[in-house]
Structure formats: C-alpha cells, structure tokens
Structure 1
Amino acid sequence: MMKKLFLLLVLVVATVGAQNANTIFSEANALYKNGEYQKAIDLYEQVVASKEISSELFYNLGNSYYKLNKVGPSIYNYEKALQLDPLNEDALNNLIFAKRLALDRIEELPKSALQKFNINYLSKLSYNQWAVITVLFSFIGAILFLLYYFTQTPARKRLFFTTSIFSFILLIISLAITYHQYNKVMNTVEAIVFVPEISVKNEPTKNAEEAFIIHEGTKVAVLDEVDDWKKIRLADGKIGWLKSGDIKVLNIF
C-alpha cells in the first residue's frame, strides 16, 4: 500500500513539475516576443534546471542569447538543440549565423568518404531514432516470417520468405548503425569556449608554454582531464590544455 502511495506521489509531483515548466516556458516565449531577452533567458534557464528539456527549449534559449550578441551561450544552446533533434533545421541554420560571430576560423581536417557519409546521412538521426527504426524492422521481419510460415501458396511463400530475409538484413544494418551512433555519442565529449580569449597551454600548468589562442564560441573536443585542466583538440587537429572553467561541456542529459 505504501509503495503504491509513493508511486502515486511521484507521478503527481512529476505532472505538476511538467505543467509548471510548460507555464514558465510560455512566459519566457512571451518575454522574448516583447524583446525582453534577458528576462526570457532567466525563465528558460529555470526550465533547463527542472530537466523538462526539449530541442525547442534550447533553440529558443540560443535565440535569446544571440539577440544579446552572446556568442558562446548562443552556439552552445543551438548545439544542445541539435543534440536532442539533429533534424532541427532552424537550430542548424541559426547555428551557422551564430558561428559567424566567433573570431576563430578553424579549417577542419579532411574527412574520408565513410566519415562524410556518416555526417551527411547517418548522423541526421540520433541513436534513439535509429533504435526505433531497428525495432520497426524487427516487427516487420517477424510478421513477414509468420506470413511465410502459415501461407500455403508457393508463390506467396517465396515472396514472404524473400522480403522477411531482406527485413532481417535491414534490421542487422540498422542495429549496427544504432550501436555505432550510441558509442560515438557516449565516447565523444565536446565543449564550447565561454570566455573571450584563452591561451591554450602545452601542459596542464599555469606557467606552461602557450600552444595557441582560441576565442569565445569555438567548439573543441575534450580528450582528457587533470585536476582543473582539460586536454582539448580543435577541428584542425591542434591539441592543448586549458582551464575547465573556460569551457562548457555539451553533456548528454
């Protein structure tokens, strides 16, 4: 009995929390439309803190920061919106505009044909979306196999057998893509620079020799961490160390 009451209480709290987050989100949208961008940001950040997140929330938050010419936070939130929904074209387009405000122009290393295919096609869907496709192919394959098993007509049996085999092949492919995309997300840690200018060091010490300089809004890959230092890599392959507080990690919720 106590367990049921506890579960009911959790459900009620979660429902009230979601309704409250939706109310705050609507109020923030109204403030944004009235040009009160900082007030809108304060409310959007409250929703983020409540964990009632969505791609639209980060997109609107990115727009608010962009209106205030805050390069790092705007890029960060557009990136967050795309993490949750890689097909969010509005966030992708606005991210391009926001990146133009950043000072650094970093040329990416050449990519192989397989890497380009992954970026241009496979990565357009998140690993969760690929998982849904995998489950869908498993259902289709199972239904087609049952139809093959129970059908008596030779022509139909051949048809159902062929299509079921094809579905299971697609199932294996989509499962492999899901696994690859999941590992990529889990093993790739990226961050956005949040300070106007950083002197990146060769070693994780204050007095180490300067390796290069980067500016607010630059996206980096985080490779390692030592105390309050993070080892980062740029898109052009440069590697160095900077203070953890100078960047904000694009963590997965």
Structure 2
Amino acid sequence: MKKFLFLLLIIASSVVAQTSDELFNNANDLYKNENIEEAIELYKKIESQGIVSSELYYNLGNSYYKLNKVGPSIYYYEKALKINPLNEDVKNNLVFAKRLALDNIEELPKTIFQKFNKNWLQKLSYNDWAIVTVVFSFLGSLLFLFFYFSDSPSKKRFYFMTSTFSFLLLIFSFLITYNQYTVTKKNKVAIVFAIKTAVRNAPTLNSEEVFTLHEGTKVIVLDRLDDWRKIKLADGKLGWIIADEIKLLNNF
C-alpha cells in the first residue's frame, strides 16, 4: 500500500511539472504574440501552484512592464533577483522599470563594510552562501583526513595548512550566511502598488501626512498594526502606510 501511494505521489508530481511546463511555454508564446494580458494570466496560474522560479518572475516583470504597470513590474523583477542575484537581464530591466517610478529617493551614505556587503557579499543569496559553507566543510574534512593518514612530513604540513585554511573559510562563509539570513528576515521589503498614497506619522487616517509615495517605490516594513504597516525609506524617512497599498516580496 505504501509503495502504491508513493507511486501515485511521483505520478502526481510529474503531471504537475508537465502542466507547469506547458503553461509556461504557452504563456511565452502569448507574450511573443503580444497577447500580454493573457500571458500574465497563465504566468499567474503557474505562480498560484506554488512554483518559485526566477524565470517565471522575470517574465511576469517583463509582461507588466509592457503594460506600463510600474509597481507589479518592479515587484516581480525584485522577486526574480532574490532567487538569482546574479541575473544580469533582470538587473538591466529593473533599471528601466525604476525609471518609470515617480519617486526619486536617494539612499543614505553607506559605510565601507555596507558597500562591500552590497557590491560583493550580496551577489549570492544566503542559500548560495550556505552551499559554499557546506563545500568548505567537506573540503576541510577531506584535507584533514589526508593529513591524518599521510606518512610524508611535507605532505602532512601541506594538508594541515590547507585544511586549516579551509576551516577558516568555513567559519567566514558561515558568518556571512548567518548575516545574510538575518538581514533578509529582518528587512521585510515591499513595493508600493498604489498609484499614489499618503504616508502618515501614526496608523490612523486622521493623523498627519508626512510625505507621499507613488507606485513602484521600494520600502522596508518595520512593524505592523491592524491594517497599517510602519515603513522606512532608503533615505531614512519613517511613516505608516495602509497595508493594502504595498505588497511584500516575502512573507511577514
């Protein structure tokens, strides 16, 4: 009975994969033929199946960009980059999409470490850094075994030095992985979907309006209260926005 259920599970997974591939190919054909809205419907249908794919989000971003929908296009380009930070096509298209956004927000000056982190360490996601950590762990263990079983003093010295270096890289990559994971979980990034929205100094409609945001602006969600979200901009400004007017890139 267990074998039968396991076989059914494999078959079901295979059918879902085939269906998703067919939908993706059909959506691509619709996109090529300029049937953008129909293509979006199929891409969204794939997304509703729980499929997570940089290519899927990239195509959704392109589709919304074709329709001049700034918020959704930036949103899906950002989601694609979270999965594959090295995708140059997504980066280039995101630059064009951001030019359509009305808000020009200058980032606060970064420290040397923050610049290094953004320009180099964040090239890989925390999942990628976790893989690097596992690789150094395996390499360090293997080199230590070579050191332990080697008879030659010169080889022992070589394997000891290289295994030590591998373990140091293991610790370094682990710290980076933990830091990237913490930053990702702490910084809840969202995109403004409302064409225009007021940001207030308190989570009430009768509170003072501190500034205005437009579709496509990226914000960091710091807190939540009922139907309101406390946000922070890249320039350090803080305020409260109605939750329905932004969309999180990851779950809160």
User: Under a length normalisation based on structure 2, what TM-score does the superposition of the two structures give?
Assistant: 0.97
1:179 aligns with 2:175: no
Which residue of structure 2 lines up, in the alignment, with residue 200 of structure 1? 199
Is the 8 Å Cα contact of residues 18 and 52 (structure 1) preserved in structure 2? no
Question: Is 1:212 aligned to residue 215 of structure 2?
Answer: no
**Deviations 1:81-102 (CA, angstroms, capped at 9, x unpaired):** 0011111111011001000000
Q: What do residues 162-190 of structure 1 show as CA deviations (whole Å, max 9, x unaligned)?
A: 11100110011111111111111112101
Q: Which amino acid aligns with 1:49?
A: S
Equivalent AA in structure 2 for residue 96 of structure 1: V
Distance in 2 of aligned mates of 1:240 and 1:150: 62
Structure 2: tracts of 5 or more residues without a match:
none
How far apart, CA to CA, are the structure 1 residues paired with 2:210 and 2:44? 35
Give the Cα separation in 2 of the matches to 1:23 and 1:133. Answer: 34
Identity across the alignment (%): 59
Partner of 1:46: 45
Match of 1:72 in 2: 71
SS at 2:113 equivalent: helix
| Structure 1 position 23 matched with structure 2 position 16 | no
* Counterpart residue identity of residue 48, structure 1: E
| 1:222 alignment partner in structure 2 | 221
Aligned residue for 2:222, secondary structure, equals strand
The residue number in structure 2 matching 1:242 is 241
1:112 equivalent in structure 2 = 111
SS in 1 for 2:240: strand
- Listed one character per residue, the Cα deviations across residues 130-171 of structure 1 (whole Å, up to 9, x for unaligned) are 111111111111111111111111111101111110011001
**1:11 partner amino acid:** I
1:49-70 CA deviation, whole Å, 9 max, x = no partner? 1112210110011000001100
Q: Could you say what the CA RMSD is over the residues aligned between the two structures, in angstroms?
A: 1.2
After superposition, residues 144-159 of structure 1 pair within 5 angstroms as: 144-159=143-158
**What is the 5 A alignment of 1:77-116?**
77-116=76-115
List structure 1 segments (4+ residues) > 6 angstroms apart after TM superposition: none
AA aligned to 1:6 is L
State the partner residue of 1:37: 36
Amino acid at match of 2:136: F
Aligned to 2:62: 63
Structure 2 residue matching 1:177: 3-state secondary structure: helix
Cα shift at 1:7: 3.2
- Superposition deviation, residue 15 in structure 1: 1.8
Secondary structure in structure 1 of the residue aligned to 2:220: strand
Change (3 A) 1:252 1:244: closer
CA distance in 2, matches of 1:157, 1:107: 55
Q: Distance in 2 between matches of 1:222 and 1:23?
A: 37
1:126 aligns with 2:125: yes
Measured in 2, the distance between the counterparts of 1:89 and 1:213 equals: 31
SS of 1:195 mapped into structure 2: coil
**What is the TM-score normalised by the length of structure 1?**
0.97
For the residues of structure 2 that align with 1:246 and 1:10, how far apart are their CA atoms? 39
Cα distance in 2 for residues equivalent to 1:24 and 1:133: 34
Going from structure 1 to structure 2, the CA distance change for 1:11 and 1:252 (only over 3 Å counts) comes to farther
Q: Distance in 2 between matches of 1:158 and 1:127?
A: 33
Matched, 1:11 2:2: no
Give the secondary structure class of the aligned counterpart of 2:234: coil
Aligned match of 1:170: 169
